[in-house]
Amino acid sequence: MRMLQPFASGPFSFHPVAVEGEACQRWTLYYGLQELAMHMLPDSLNQGEIREKFTDAIESFACKAKASHMPGGLELVEEETGEALVRLAVTRIPDGLSECTPDERYPYWLMTTAQPRWGMPVTLQQFTQLAEALAAPEHAWIAALLPNDVLTENPAGWREPTSWEICHVVGDGSLTGVTGAQAADLIGVTPQSFRARYSAAHRLRNVASAPAQAGGYTYEPSRLPNKQRSPTRVIGARSAASRE
């Protein structure tokens, strides 16, 4: 029997258990210590094929986390039809809203998605300006999965993220799709150096419960870049001295 080793992809880890007398293994998918799914899989599969078998479970986890943690929303309502033309997750609710129902006095209304409904009349130009100013990053929900002390902008309360925390936002299998090469280029190190510090393989070699501490790199959830103008931008090379 070919016994594969545990491996990681992004913040998820995959662990096999041999099944006596069978040409298969029982693979379990974990997010941290949380068990997400289990499949009996043939010995012949490679890591990529094994991960593919858990795609639905990973997508389900991400969808539930996004639904739970995405910031509150606004929508542009057309009074004539009562339909929401645009829905938008925002960093805060703008001033000037009051409890109301769209009526024929104005063609467009800015409304909260949560109950009770608050809103105000707006023009399309006003809505565009508000959207540009208040739109939450596409991946803002990921911040809720991470501890406050790696997200704070207060140098005194900040600590360096572990490799497992980094894997949420950077690398193969991350929740953002930002690759290690893109992150390395952004913070001015080689892909090999970044990968050695923060890759999933490195995390497994150093045991998930005691990830290696790497020096000089960090990230902030509101600063992660991706090709779709992702709200999170990777930043790096912030030594303690540079944060003072």
Give the end of a domain, one of 68, 86, 111: 68
Amino acid letter, residue 127: F
Task: Give the span between the Cα atoms of 158 and 151, in whole angstroms.
Answer: 7
Report pLDDT for 222.
Answer: 39
In a shared domain, residues 144 and 231 = yes
pTM of the model: 0.68
**Which of 22, 40, 68 corresponds to the end of one domain?**
68
Query: Does residue 60 sit in the same domain as residue 19?
Result: yes
Q: Which residues pair with 8 in a beta bridge?
A: 13
Q: Does 1 reside within a domain?
A: no
Same domain, 59 and 122: no
Residue with tokens 């704070």: 152
Please tell me whether residues 239 and 190 are part of one structural domain: yes
**Rounded mean pLDDT for each run of 10 residues along the chain, 244 residues in total:** 81 90 88 96 93 97 91 92 92 92 95 91 96 90 93 90 90 89 84 71 42 33 35 31 32
Q: Are residues 129 and 163 both part of a single domain?
A: no
- Residue 48 inside a domain? The answer is yes
Q: What is the pLDDT of residue 187?
A: 79
Give the pLDDT score at 198. Answer: 64
Number of domains in the chain: 3
Domain boundary at 35, 68, 101, which?
68
Domain that holds residue 79: 73-134
118 and 209, same domain (yes or no) = no
The answer on 206 and 144 residing in a single domain is yes
Is residue 2 domain-resident?
no
Instruction: Identify the pLDDT of residue 199.
Output: 57
Which pLDDT belongs to residue 98?
95
